[in-house]
């Protein structure tokens, strides 16, 4: 009789959870949709960083992309806002509970079309939030109309050509005040994974534009957001390594080849330069470089800008360390005397 072997126990992270603890419902998105790959990367990054799922608030608007938080981290808080209105809900959630890790998932339509007004104000506040745009250049959920990130001259399946210039959400976010801005590709597993881990360690607005092909409506010849186009035109700025604060790894590099950024929690973001002169802490230059990449027709990816020194919105407002949501009523509600005093002043 063959001996039975007991399977090894499942691998756990530093808080004792398995990847299953970070999973969500079964996806209803189309097979091959880039958004599913991004959900997988979020699961891996949260697992590896040992983030308690209950500390995460998943926030989204409307679209296939905005549906995707249902497909990861079921144990986290979740709120599906009205189309383009996720930023105001995220702001409220973070101000009410500063201990939450806010993870916003939006689409290019949800952000750069209907949600532009809210997006702009979120970026200028440096609110601690990870804001991901799952960018396919179309409104996938409503059957593939061009969005505001579609490139000039790209075509729909029907042959219709886009004759408007795109909004570069990264250049916009940097110029408005976001403090961690990058672009990746749902098919670039390694780069996206490192960027997401660094995003979790950053205490300010992280804005990641992730090109995420829509296999049903925008993956054909003539599209600039297809798998093939991205594979042929992606120009990474750096090879990215992320060393979390709980891992003590020191390696020596040749001077000038690596930019190392120390994150708020002591983690280290290592950007192995592929372009020697690129400095991700130079705001003006990063915007210039993004515009230059458009002119050249390349799709630049990588971490474009990081600033770990700027004050974030919660600190600016001087909010008490204890989350407002957990303060007792006796502290948050003004007493009778305060009310009387206000009334007296209004007389
Ligand atoms: C107020 C309002 N206007 C329009 C719509 C229709 N609508 C639903 S999703 C969507 C666009 C979604 O595009 P995007 O954010 O790029 O997400 P994707 O589906 O491509 O992931 C639109 C216009 C809506 N739901 N609500
Ligand atoms: S329609 Fe496009 S964006 Fe929506 S799930 Fe399908 S492939 Fe993804
Ligand atoms: Mg879209």
| Beta carbons within 10 angstroms of residue 334's beta carbon | 9
DSSP secondary structure letter of residue 109: H
- Choice from 26, 28, 33, 223 to test ligand 2 binding pocket (greatest atom count within 8 A of CB): 33
Residue nearest (by alpha carbon) to ligand 1 atom 16: 109
Q: What is the predicted pLDDT for the residue at 93?
A: 98
Residue nearest (by alpha carbon) to ligand 2 atom 5: 29
156-165: long-range pairs with CB below 8 Å, 24+: 156/217, 156/218, 156/222, 157/217, 157/218, 157/220, 159/222
Which token pair is 35? Answer: 């958004």
Which token pair is 92? Answer: 């409220």
- The model's pTM is 0.95
The vertex-170 CA angle with 268 and 275, nearest 5°, equals: 60
Q: What is the predicted pLDDT for the residue at 1?
A: 60
> What does the pLDDT profile of the chain (347 residues) look like in tens digits?
667 788 888 899 999 999 999 999 999 999 999 999 999 999 999 999 999 999 999 999 999 999 999 999 999 999 999 999 999 999 999 999 999 999 999 999 999 999 999 999 999 999 999 999 999 999 999 999 999 999 999 999 999 999 999 999 999 999 999 999 999 999 999 999 999 999 999 999 999 999 999 999 999 999 999 999 999 999 999 999 999 999 977 777 777 789 999 999 999 999 998 888 899 999 999 999 999 999 998 999 999 999 999 999 999 999 999 999 999 988 888 888 999 999 999 98
- Measured from the Cα of 62, ligand 1's closest atom is 9
Ligand 1 centroid distance, CA of 110 (Å): 6
106: helix, strand or coil: strand
Ligand 1 pocket, Cβ-based, cut-off 6 angstroms:
62-65, 83, 107-110, 114, 134, 136, 138-142, 147
- Measured from the Cα of 111, ligand 1's closest atom is 15
Q: Any idea which residue has 């909010």 for tokens?
A: 319
| Beta carbons within 10 angstroms of residue 346's beta carbon | 6
Kind of pairing, strands 268-273 and 238-243? antiparallel
Largest CA-CA distance found in the chain, in angstroms, rounded:
94
Q: What is the predicted pLDDT for the residue at 284?
A: 97
Kind of pairing, strands 101-107 and 77-80? unpaired
Residue 241 pairs in a beta bridge with 270
Q: How far is CA 188 from CA 104, 147, 195, 235, in A?
A: 20, 23, 11, 11
Residue nearest (by alpha carbon) to ligand 1 atom 9: 63
Q: What is the predicted pLDDT for the residue at 2?
A: 65
Q: What is the predicted pLDDT for the residue at 153?
A: 96
Smallest-distance ligand from the CA of 109: 1
């Amino acid at each position: 009789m063959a001996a039975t072997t007991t399977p090894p126990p499942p691998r756990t992270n530093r808080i004792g959870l398995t990847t299953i603890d970070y999973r969500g419902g079964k996806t209803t998105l189309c097979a091959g949709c880039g958004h599913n790959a991004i959900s997988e990367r979020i699961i891996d990054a949260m697992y590896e960083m040992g983030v308690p799922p209950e500390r995460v608030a998943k926030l989204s608007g409307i679209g296939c992309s905005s549906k995707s938080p249902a497909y990861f981290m079921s144990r986290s808080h979740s709120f599906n806002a009205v189309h383009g209105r996720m930023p105001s809900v995220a702001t409220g959630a973070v101000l009410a509970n500063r201990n939450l890790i806010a993870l916003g998932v939006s689409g290019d339509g949800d952000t750069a079309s209907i949600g532009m007004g809210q997006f702009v104000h979120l970026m200028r506040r440096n609110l601690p939030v990870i804001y991901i745009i799952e960018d396919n250049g179309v409104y996938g959920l409503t059957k593939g109309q061009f969005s505001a990130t579609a490139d000039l001259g790209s075509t729909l399946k029907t042959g219709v050509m886009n004759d408007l210039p795109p909004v570069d959400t990264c250049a916009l976010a940097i110029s408005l005040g976001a403090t961690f801005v990058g672009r990746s590709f749902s098919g670039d597993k390694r780069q996206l994974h490192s960027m997401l881990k660094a995003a979790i360690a950053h205490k300010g607005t992280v804005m990641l534009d992730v090109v995420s092909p829509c296999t049903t409506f925008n993956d054909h010849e003539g599209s600039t957001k297809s798998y093939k186009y991205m594979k042929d035109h992606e120009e990474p700025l750096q090879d990215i390594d992320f060393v979390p604060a709980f891992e003590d790894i020191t390696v020596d590099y040749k001077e000038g080849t690596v930019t190392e950024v120390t994150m708020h929690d002591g983690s280290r973001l290592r950007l192995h330069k592929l372009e020697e002169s690129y400095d991700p802490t130079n705001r003006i230059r990063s915007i210039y470089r993004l515009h230059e990449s458009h002119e050249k027709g390349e799709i630049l990816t990588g971490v474009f800008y990081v600033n770990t020194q700027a004050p974030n919105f919660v600190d600016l407002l001087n909010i008490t360390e204890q989350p407002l949501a957990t303060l007792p009523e006796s502290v948050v509600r003004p007493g009778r005397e305060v009310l009387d005093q206000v009334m007296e002043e209004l007389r």
